[in-house]
Structure 1
Amino acid sequence: MQAYEFINNLIPPLKLTDRAGMALAWMEEIRIDSLPVTDQGRFLGFISDEVIFDLNEPEKPIGSIELEAGSCWVYSNKHIYDVLRVASEHQSNLVAVLDRENTYLGVVTMEDAISAFADSLSIKSQGSVLILSLAMTDYHLSEISRLVESENTKILSSFITNDPLDDSKIKLTLKLDKPELRHVKATLERFGYWVIDHYQEETGVSGEEDRIGNLLRFLDI
C-alpha cells in the first residue's frame, strides 16, 4: 500500500505559465478545489480555487501567485498512512508524490487514501468495533487477542490513539469479525479491561454511507 499505487492520473499539474482562469476551469471540470503546480518536474505547491476567486484576475499567470503547502508531499514508496498524516498536517485534500530524485509523479486524493486506509483496517468487513481504555504499559495485544479468541471471535485489525481524557492512557480500537459483542465484552471486563464504547453491526447492512460510518466510528471521529 505505497503512495505511488494510489496516484490519481486524472488530476493534471499546472505550469507557472498557465493562467488563473484556465486553472479554475480545470478545477470546475474535474470537480476539485485545488491543483498541484510544477516547474520542470519539480513540485512547487498547490493553488486553490478560493485564492483564484479572491484575486479575480483570470489572466494572471500561476507563477505570480503565492502557492500553498509546498511541503505537502511524500516519497512514492511511503505507506498510505504517511499520505494521511501529511494531508492532516497541512489540512489538504491532495498530497503530492515524488520519487527519490524529487521528481513529481502525481497526487493522491484524500478520498482514495481514506478508501485504501479503510480496506487495510477491514472496515468493510462485517463485524463489530470495540474500544478499550488502558495504560500503555498494560497494552499486550497477544493477551487481548487470546481473550477475544476464547469467545470464538477474531481481531481483524486494531488501532491505537491517545485518550483525550487521560494523557496516561491510550484508546485501543478493535475490529472484530463477529457482530455479537456481549460475550467478548464480558470476558475482557472480567480480566480488568475497561470497555468504553462498542458498535455492533446489523447483518445485511451495506452501502457507501454505512461503510463511511463504520470508518468514522472505527477512528472514533
Structure 2
Amino acid sequence: MLNKELISSNIPTLHYQDTVGEALLLMQESHLSQLPVVDDDKYLGVVFEEDLQKNSQEQTLQGSNIRLSKVMVPAHTYYLQAVQVALDYRIAIVPVVENEELVGVINQVDLLTELGRQTGVQDPGGVIVLEMDSINFSFSEISRLVETNDAQITQLNTFRQSQPPSLLVVLKVNTIEISTIVATFQRYDYKVKYYFGEERYVNQLKSNLDHLMNYLNL
C-alpha cells in the first residue's frame, strides 16, 4: 500500500494568506490540532494549534512568526514510512508530497487501520511475545517449535527495547489455544513475556486439582 492510496478526502488545507483565526476555526471544525499549509499548491509545512494560539487572530500565517514543520512523506513510498513519521513527530496527520506539491493528507486513524489489516490483528488466533537477545533470534527455530504443536505462525514482528536491552518477538499463531505452545517455548528456555489466548490445558489442570482437593476434604 503506497502513501498516495491512503489519502483522506476530508482533511482541509490551510493557505499561507489565511489568518490565524481562520486556521484555528478550521482546526476546531475538523477536530485536528495540526493542518498542512500551502502557497500556490506548494507545500510549506504543518502548523500546530499551540503555535497559532500564541499569535493575534488577525495576523496572516505569512505575516506571523509561526513555525511550520516540514514533515512529509513522498507519494510513491510504502505506507510504513508514514507510520514511522507519525510516531516520530507525534502527529495526527501525515502530508503526502510529490514534486514539492501537496498531494493530500493521511489521517492517523487510516494508518492504524491499514497497519492492523496488514499485520492480521483482527484475524483469529493467539499472540505470544518472546523476549531474547538479538543474537539468539532464529525464525526457523521459533517456527519449528510452533509447528510441533500443530500450529503455524501467521504474523511475526520484532521490536528492540532499550530497557533492558533486548529483542521482543511478537508471534501471531493460527490457534486460540496456546498453552501447549507457551509450554514448549518455556521448555526450550525461551522467556515468554506475554501471551494472549485460551489456556485450555492450564484450565483443565486447575479443574482436576479442584476436584482432587474437594475429594480430600470429604
Superposition pairs for residues 90-129 of structure 1, below 5 Å? Answer: 90-99=89-98, 101-129=99-127
Q: CA deviation at 1:113?
A: 0.8
> Structure 1 residues 48 and 163 mapped into 2: Cα distance closer, same or farther (>3 Å)?
closer
Cα distance in 1 for residues equivalent to 2:198 and 2:38 = 45
Q: CA deviation at 1:59?
A: 2.0
Q: CA deviation at 1:76?
A: 1.2
- The answer to whether the 8 A contact 2:37-2:47 is kept is yes
Cα distance in 2 for residues equivalent to 1:45 and 1:29 = 20
Q: CA deviation at 1:142?
A: 2.2
Cα distance in 2 for residues equivalent to 1:174 and 1:102 = 40
Is 2:64 aligned against 1:60? no
Q: CA deviation at 1:82?
A: 1.0
Cα distance in 1 for residues equivalent to 2:121 and 2:68 = 33
Letter in 2 for 1:15: H
Q: CA deviation at 1:164?
A: 3.2
Cα distance in 1 for residues equivalent to 2:157 and 2:68 = 31
Paired position in structure 2 for 1:186: 183
Paired position in structure 2 for 1:207: none
Unmatched tracts of structure 2, length 5 or more: 200-218
Q: CA deviation at 1:201?
A: 6.4
Letter in 1 for 2:85: V
- The answer to whether the 8 A contact 1:133-1:170 is kept is yes
Cα distance in 1 for residues equivalent to 2:100 and 2:142 = 43
**TM-score, normalisation: structure 1:** 0.82
Cα distance in 1 for residues equivalent to 2:121 and 2:174 = 10
Cα distance in 2 for residues equivalent to 1:43 and 1:165 = 39
- The answer to whether the 8 A contact 2:24-2:52 is kept is yes
Superposition pairs for residues 17-28 of structure 1, below 5 Å? Answer: 17-28=17-28
Paired position in structure 2 for 1:131: 129
> Structure 1 residues 58 and 150 mapped into 2: Cα distance closer, same or farther (>3 Å)?
same
Letter in 1 for 2:89: H
Unmatched tracts of structure 1, length 5 or more: 203-221
Q: CA deviation at 1:23?
A: 1.5
> Structure 1 residues 201 and 80 mapped into 2: Cα distance closer, same or farther (>3 Å)?
farther
Residues 185-204 of structure 1 show CA distances to partners (whole Å, capped at 9, x for unaligned) of 111222232212112269xx
Superposition pairs for residues 117-196 of structure 1, below 5 Å? Answer: 117-167=115-165, 169-196=166-193
Letter in 2 for 1:191: Y
- The answer to whether the 8 A contact 2:131-2:190 is kept is yes
Q: CA deviation at 1:40?
A: 2.4
- Aligned-residue Cα RMSD (Å) equals 1.8
Letter in 2 for 1:147: L
Identity between Structure 1 and Structure 2 (%): 25
- The answer to whether the 8 A contact 2:154-2:172 is kept is yes
Letter in 2 for 1:23: A
Residues 78-98 of structure 1 show CA distances to partners (whole Å, capped at 9, x for unaligned) of 222211111222221111111
Cα distance in 2 for residues equivalent to 1:190 and 1:138 = 16
